[in-house]
């Protein structure tokens, strides 16, 4: 589960970087729920795994958190969230 959480975080970061391109800011509306689901999945993975998987789940938690925070900030700056 930890590996899946890291992969989810990497995909959400890639989507976040694509959404930073001008005129593709609407992609943040996809990034925020995707990273939020990944964040939730990472929390569950961290609670259920032991050993090396726990470290991977923490990495996924950090990656998804960064993508979620950046997506929310980008939407609020662009006026997408009031």
Summary mean pLDDT of the chain: 89
H-helix or E-strand containing 62?
Answer: helix 52-78
Strand, helix or coil for residue 49: coil
Q: CA 29 → CA 33, 67, 69, distances in Å?
A: 7, 12, 13
**Interacting residues of 76 by C-beta distance below 8 A, sequence separation 6+:** none
The count of C-alpha atoms lying within 13 angstroms of the C-alpha of 23, restricted to the half-sphere facing its C-beta, is 0
Domain extents in the chain: 2-78
pLDDT, tens digit only, all 82 positions of the chain = 888 989 999 999 999 999 888 888 888 899 999 999 999 999 999 999 888 778 999 999 999 999 999 999 988 887 766 5
């Amino acid at each position: 589960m930890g590996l899946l959480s890291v992969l989810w975080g990497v995909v959400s970061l890639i989507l976040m970087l694509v959404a930073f391109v001008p005129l593709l800011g609407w992609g943040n509306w996809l990034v925020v729920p995707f990273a939020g689901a990944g964040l939730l999945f990472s929390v569950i993975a961290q609670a259920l795994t032991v050993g090396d998987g726990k470290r991977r789940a923490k990495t996924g938690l950090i990656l998804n958190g960064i993508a979620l925070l950046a997506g929310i900030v980008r939407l609020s700056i662009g006026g997408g969230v009031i």
